[in-house]
Structure 1
């Protein structure tokens, strides 16, 4: 018997698809040869297959953040603005805590927290806190702020600070990103500076109006087509001009294939205008195409899309454990997979890893394995809507 829910299936399906794709990138992180010390988008060392494996996962973070904003709007459509403010503010703080305390532990298995990385959960959390204040603004002003941030934040790329002054650290958090070392010799990596992500969550929140209860579906689909194709077209214009919109301009390479890779080698840290256009544009077209589709495949992805936070933490833990099991099977030292700051400074993992074929096989196994607990938790959430704390998980 299907579960009764007011959730919008197309949004959950899209979220589920990117959650599944996300696991591919994280399996690659833990299993691919040289992954701890090399960049899969480095044109000097990558292959088209490896580059595509990384590029396809670029869709995960922006779609995840964008739909977090959309979900916030849909949640708030049944609440007062003060109630929505309270939810966004407290859930945002909660997500920041989870990033620091839980996510870092399962990523590194270092109980001393010698290496703390602030990633997408942190970015969503802080963006939610900021959004909690912005929701009181008129809709038109909020949309304008979102577009100004997305279209204009690359103007700040030339502002580069060094050191660990308060001003520099705030700038790292806001736009530049960097690593800092605390007095206790703890390394903190700020890899998701929040300014562009705030723009993404604002536009995602504003996008939620298309899914308001009485909004005309045909008009919504028309706008999905317009916005999706416009974003992709703007990507080719901005990226093709090669004068703005990304930290790293593309260049003519010694082969046509490498030139194409250079063109699509857009910057994620922080997410450039080009990066956001080529990821969010196709995502909007996906929403257009999937809106009326209902089959076993969409039901499969729906499961992951309805329990994203649960799935996120579980899949990182499972992948990390499987990496340890793999080392033990092949006679390595399992302690090498306790990823302290020192682990990235020695050569213990320099020759570690498996082929991309193994990466894809492990990825498929992880998704199949996690489907069952994710579905069980999805059913639990759907049948226990009276438990307020489930909205934080």
Structure 2
């Protein structure tokens, strides 16, 4: 679920310690802001409504044979929500890798020691894992606990119910080593591991039930999404190896961005990448390759792709749409009110993520009525939640700006100074 890039809040905050706000690329924040709204829609319906599409493509072992959770029949509204929410995870991870690459390049140009950069990465990674376990996972599992009517169902597996936030955290830890090789090599290694994980997915699915708990946990964290079970040591629907791929792609784009070519050149690069990616998607989909869920001759079946784990067709479609969104928001005038609203959301992703989960989960928890309403009603709840979240995000940004401490380059390696700048 996403939703995940949340990470950008801390990335942008730290990059601003060594660069002014004028160096930000507004179209990144605007795109991320729109993605956050789609994520909130998906999660609002998760807590409030029935009929939402989820777990499409999930590999299942049925009587010894590997099958994949079908897309199934759905209403047009549920289908549209599925399409919008599917942009979220690849979009967040791509932008996360992109912004992180820009941030680290600026730190390196400012003379920041390599040890300080590594310190930043592992601290961010551990923070995100902490937030996943103690903030996000309890929110997602609140329906199960309330419906059970007892805390006895709460197990280690419910806390270690990992999702997009932990994928970000582990990816940060991966980059502790990955940043020491060229971004092209890192992207190549990530792509190779992703393709291997796709190739061996049936074997992993068959062996999973017979593995020991530790082996299952590692398999689930790295490669294989599985149906949630409170008796499992770890649950994870965003395994790191397939989902690190869009982050490595963003890392590559961020490292190959050069200011001397200008933002207009970068926008054209996004436009070309988007058109190329979508063209490849249609070629692959029409040829019947690149996805576990085959097109059934209907429009919904054609775009009903495997998300758990993400198939090549899934990445081609949704990363292509993300590229085009980046280009579209570059073309949107700076004075646009819509752009300003999205930018305010997009600059506070980590705050938004943790706040919106509990905002949408708390009320149905108190009412003990999860998934008890229609999709239309859930959409209304989503809009109401955004009205509440917007001033909260603006207030958070104001607070963050007033508490920012500009750290001298000579003190960037001092943890006490870094902490002042990260409050």
Cα distance in 2 for residues equivalent to 1:300 and 1:210: 29
Residues 199-278 of structure 1 correspond to what in structure 2 (within 5 A)? Answer: 199-209=245-255, 211-243=257-289, 245-252=290-297, 259-278=298-317
Cα distance in 1 for residues equivalent to 2:361 and 2:351: 16
Query: Counterpart of 1:99 in 2: which secondary structure?
Result: helix
Residue of structure 2 equivalent to 1:340: none
Residue of structure 1 equivalent to 2:17: none
Residue of structure 2 equivalent to 1:348: none
Aligned residues: 360
Change (3 A) 1:190 1:38: closer
Cα distance in 2 for residues equivalent to 1:150 and 1:171: 14
2:111 counterpart of 1:78: no
Larger mean CA deviation between 27-36 and 377-386 belongs to 27-36
2:357 counterpart of 1:316: yes
Larger mean CA deviation between 381-390 and 55-64 belongs to 381-390
2:324 counterpart of 1:279: no
Segments of structure 1 that go 5 or more residues without pairing to the other structure are: 253-258, 328-333, 338-351
Cα distance in 1 for residues equivalent to 2:236 and 2:203: 16
Change (3 A) 1:7 1:385: farther
1:292 deviates by 4.1
Residues 17-96 of structure 1 correspond to what in structure 2 (within 5 A)? Answer: 17-33=34-50, 44-80=72-108, 81-96=114-129
Please report the RMSD computed on the Cα atoms of aligned residues, expressed in angstroms.
2.8
Give CA deviations for 1:153-174 in whole Å, capped at 9, x if unaligned.
4223332222342434322222
2:164 counterpart of 1:120: yes
Query: Counterpart of 2:235 in 1: which secondary structure?
Result: strand
Cα distance in 2 for residues equivalent to 1:237 and 1:77: 36
Query: Given that residues 146 and 199 in structure 1 are in contact (C-alpha distance below 8 angstroms), is that contact kept between their aligned partners in structure 2?
Result: yes
Residue of structure 2 equivalent to 1:255: none
1:23 deviates by 0.7
Change (3 A) 1:213 1:84: farther
Q: TM-score when scaled to structure 1?
A: 0.83
Larger mean CA deviation between 5-14 and 137-146 belongs to 137-146
Query: Given that residues 56 and 306 in structure 2 are in contact (C-alpha distance below 8 angstroms), is that contact kept between their aligned partners in structure 1?
Result: no
Residue of structure 1 equivalent to 2:375: 356
Residue of structure 2 equivalent to 1:299: 340
Cα distance in 2 for residues equivalent to 1:207 and 1:39: 29
1:363 deviates by 0.9
Cα distance in 1 for residues equivalent to 2:222 and 2:357: 26
Change (3 A) 1:82 1:230: farther
Cα distance in 1 for residues equivalent to 2:262 and 2:225: 41
Query: Counterpart of 2:338 in 1: which secondary structure?
Result: helix
Query: Given that residues 53 and 78 in structure 2 are in contact (C-alpha distance below 8 angstroms), is that contact kept between their aligned partners in structure 1?
Result: no
Query: Given that residues 167 and 239 in structure 2 are in contact (C-alpha distance below 8 angstroms), is that contact kept between their aligned partners in structure 1?
Result: yes
Give CA deviations for 1:264-286 in whole Å, capped at 9, x if unaligned.
11111111111111111111111
Segments of structure 2 that go 5 or more residues without pairing to the other structure are: 1-19, 58-68, 109-113, 146-150, 406-416
1:59 deviates by 0.5
2:142 counterpart of 1:100: no
Query: Given that residues 266 and 274 in structure 1 are in contact (C-alpha distance below 8 angstroms), is that contact kept between their aligned partners in structure 2?
Result: yes
Q: 1:176 aligns with which of 201, 224, 227?
A: 224
Give CA deviations for 1:300-355 in whole Å, capped at 9, x if unaligned.
01111111010001001000123245x3xxxxxx2x65xxxxxxxxxxxxxx5212
Q: TM-score when scaled to structure 2?
A: 0.77
1:365 deviates by 0.7
Query: Given that residues 225 and 238 in structure 2 are in contact (C-alpha distance below 8 angstroms), is that contact kept between their aligned partners in structure 1?
Result: yes
Change (3 A) 1:378 1:212: farther
Residue of structure 2 equivalent to 1:143: 187
Residue of structure 2 equivalent to 1:369: 388
